[in-house]
Structure 1
Amino acid sequence: MFMQNTVRTAGPRARGLIAVRAEAPPTIDALARGFEAFKETHTRQLEEIKKGVADVVTAEQLEKINAALTELQTAVDDQAKIQAAAKLGNGGVIGDIQADPEYTAAFKAHMRKGDKAPADIEAAMSRGTDADGGYLAPIEWDRTIGEKLKQISPMRAESRIITISVAGFKKYFGDRNVGSGWVGETASRPATTTPQIGVLDFTPGELYANPAITQQLLDDAAVDLEKWLGSEVDTEFARQEGIGFTSGDGVNKPYGVLTYVEGAANATRHPYGAIKVTNSGAAAGLTGDGILDLMYSLPSQYAANAKFHMNRLSMGAARKLKDGQGNYLWQPSYASGQPQTLAGAPIVEHPDFPLVAAGNIALLYGDMEATYLVVDRVGIRVLRDPFTNKPFVHFYTTKRVGGGVHDPQPMRALKVAANS
């Protein structure tokens, strides 16, 4: 459902209205018209400030337009996601992994009544059945949840993902410290430095949810248990993953990407060093020059896939930035499925990123897939528990997942600080 958003254009308080009506989804045209209204009002505000007659009403009007623009852009992005999901077909299940009807039937029976799996398929279920009654979720359900997590969690969607079947994952790194030198034909060749090997551990933590449903409802209602349980789990897992992948301390959870920035907790953890920092150019805000300095601090080999990563309020602040010729650095989507951009680079919204405030790392710029690694321990596990909280049956659902930076070089960070 789309709520009605109203954007008042610049002028003597009311020159016109741009409305996104409840009966129709927002369009690219509405977004473009809203941005024109924003630019006109922002220009008027800057002129008032220069004259020393800053108008509070103009400032409030600009913030309302800015907020409405953000909602419009978000709605357009959501439409693109829905269209992309519809193209997947098969309920969002992709790839060549086929459903296992016997396993799925047994899983559903166990969820509803706790029935034991028939003896003739117990062997097929040995990969997911333990003495405590835990089942590995059916493949198609597990994959569907995985796709939902990817759609909801921007870090998972942007990062490199691997699935492991053991307790952890180790990645080995050479320090590239190979010595060399020029010599004459008969000169001696002394030993040069030898590269050393470093190792990083990516150990999954355990993420859990414990939704409950009454036994009577399980007995009497035609409940689609897989759909119900999936809806209970996917949003909560995505929320927790977003926090972990962004700022997690590595204790029973992932190492967050922001903890690898220079001066942060894990700045020395990686053999290749920390994610390098560029100052914004203002003590408590963003500047156009700071954004451009950040972009050009990234090595050119990573620029092709580079994106900005920031939260929604930071996007609102970035929308006001201009280059030296007075052009706005932020641009809205001009076609369905195309992202909003800042200085020509796509923007990814991360709700768990810090705000624009003095000393904060307000945004990242770079290739997140080449930077961050998500490690999934294969399978979502479900334990049916009818005993702990009668008359409710709990479905204790767990997923083991870890993460951390596997290469800090394709990423740069912007710190809100004046240039020294």
Structure 2
Amino acid sequence: MSKFIKQIQERRNSLWEQSKALLDAAEARGQDLAGEEEQTWQRLNTEIDQIDVRVKELLDAEQRTADADAAFRSLLEKAPAPEGRQGAERAEVERVRGWLTGQSGSRSLDVRPDSTAPLDARTLSKLTAAAGANTVPISFYNRLVQHMIEVSGVLAAGPTVLRTATGEQLQIPKTTAHSANAGIVAEAGALTANEPTFGQVSLDAYKYGFLLQVSHELANDTAVDLLGYLAMQAGRALGNGFGAHLVTGTGSSQPNGVLTAATLGTTGTTGVVGAPNADNLIDLMYSVISPYRGGASVGWLMRDSTVAAVRKLKDLQGQYLWQPSIQAGTPDTILGKPLLTDPNMPAAALGAKSVLFGDFSTYFVRQVESLRFERSDDYAFNTDLITYRAILRGDGDQVDTTGAIKYFAGGAS
């Protein structure tokens, strides 16, 4: 599998080289892409995007196979675990599955990452048609959070995540200005006060929820990885809803989105319908001061359509700003910094804040660690469907407003 992933990664790089050749040829003629060249460019970039999706699917499949192999090795080779641990695992599996199928008689289920019997349990999953039902280790909470991250560019960008057991309002110190520079002081002269300025930001626990319906037949089929299915569907739904506000939330009765809280880095020039050019992106990058530019969570955030335009841009040395990743599963880069995408970022347009750059660890995401699930057999009684309700509580805000994350705004026409 790894060899095949490497082959399609090489195919991706080849497509990018073909794309660059088209752009270079058009530039040599002093013209833009037109006609058949533009169609070829779009086709090549569409195939690059399709390969990205395919690589992710293959990596996920390879990881599932590795997990299954590790589980079987553990069952066949390791000494039996202490009876207490085995009993805890079995009890937790039965508790969750019993709730899913209604056997427990309980309407609700709270899932936490630090349960007394952690949900690092074993469930049944069909890896392939030939394999049938196999025993694999899973973590329901971790898998759900993983799917949330997959659909939210902000969560994938490496924000500071605070997980609390309960939902009381949190007061977090906020840096609004750094200390001024020290100056020369005469002998016996008074020292000038030189202190940073702080404010305070409140992190609440706004409630996000959705409904999911499955048939009784699916819920009671022990060969189906129902826990994995519910984690994926719930994670994506909660990630989409929460993730949208983490980008563009107004801060009023909802999270204060990272785009809302960011400060202006640079404004585009005229005549490009609000899209950034190479100089704009370089200016945006260097509008963020060095301590933030070198952070572990520094990077770019934009939507896919903006990335398509940025792929054509070069610096003054004729080097493309966008560079494809040389390792499957790692982000592409712009000017050497990781690029992440989020569909909630605005498209490039006049006055639109279409590109973010900075240290995303200065953006705080608060999650109440208990994820609440509830079930009802009565909600869709006439269709014999079980209805599950998932509830997440969270918030987000920028705690360093000195310019750690900045945005590009499309210039006037």
Q: Residue 27 of structure 1 aligns to a residue in which SS?
A: helix
TM-score, normalised to structure 1, is 0.74
**1:76, CA displacement in angstroms?**
4.0
Q: State the Cα distance separating 1:163 from its structure 2 match.
A: 0.3
Paired residues of 1:45 and 1:59 also in contact (CA < 8 A): no
Instruction: Give the CA deviation at 1:364.
Output: 0.8
Does residue 203 (structure 1) correspond to residue 182 (structure 2)? The answer is no
Question: Does the 8 Å contact 1:35/1:69 carry over to 2?
Answer: yes
Alignment counterpart, residue 315 of structure 2, candidates 286, 311, 323 = 323
Does residue 405 of the first structure (1) align with residue 398 of the second (2)? Answer: yes
TM superposition shift of 1:307: 1.2
Counterparts of 2:315 and 2:104, CA distance in 1: 66
The size of the alignment, in residue pairs, is: 359
- Residue 32 (structure 1) shift: 1.9
What's 1:388 paired with? 379
Q: CA separation in 1, counterparts of 2:34 and 2:340? A: 33
1:94 is matched with which residue? none
Q: 1:294 aligns with which of 271, 277, 284?
A: 284
CA positional deviation for 1:299: 0.6
Q: Any unmatched runs of 5+ in structure 2?
A: 72-84, 113-117, 120-139
Q: Tell me if 1:166 matches 2:166.
A: yes
In the alignment, structure 1 residue 59 sits paired with structure 2 residue 51: no
Aligned runs of 1:226-375 on 2, under 5 Å?
226-261=227-262, 275-282=263-270, 283-284=272-273, 285-304=275-294, 305=296, 306-368=298-360, 370-375=361-366
Farther-moved stretch of structure 1 (192-201 vs 55-64): 192-201
Q: Is the 8 A contact 1:204 1:253 kept in 2?
A: no
Three-state SS of the structure 2 residue aligned to 1:348 is strand
Instruction: Find the aligned partners of 1:102 and 1:153 in 2 and give their Cα distance.
Output: 33
Q: Distance in 2 between matches of 1:217 and 1:70?
A: 34
Q: 2:16 aligned to 29, 32, 35, which one?
A: 35
Q: Displacement, 1:215? A: 4.4
The question of 1:156 aligning with 2:117 is answered no
- 1:232 alignment partner AA: Q
Conserved 8 A contact 1:135-1:382: yes
Shift of 1:281: 3.1
Cα separation, partners in 2 of 1:144 and 1:36, compared to 1, 3 Å: closer
Q: Corresponding residue for 1:146?
A: 145
Report the counterpart of residue 51 of structure 2 in structure 1: 72
Tell me whether 1:108 sits opposite 2:93 in the alignment: no
Question: Matched residue of 1:243: which SS?
Answer: helix
**Could you tell me how far apart the structure 2 residues matched to 1:347 and 1:211 are?**
32
Q: Is the 8 A contact 2:143 2:228 kept in 1?
A: no
Shift of 1:25: 8.2
CA distance in 2, matches of 1:116, 1:152: 33
Across the aligned residues of Structure 1 and Structure 2, the Cα RMSD in angstroms comes to 3.4
Distance 1:147 1:335, change over 3 A: closer
Q: Which amino acid aligns with 1:412?
A: K
Q: Secondary structure of the equivalent of 1:386?
A: strand
SS of 1:211's equivalent in the other structure is strand
Q: TM-score, normalising length from structure 2?
A: 0.75
Q: Is the 8 A contact 1:67 1:316 kept in 2?
A: no
Identical aligned residues as a percent: 20
Query: What is the CA–CA distance in structure 2 between the aligned matches of 1:170 and 1:155, rounded to whole Å?
Result: 22
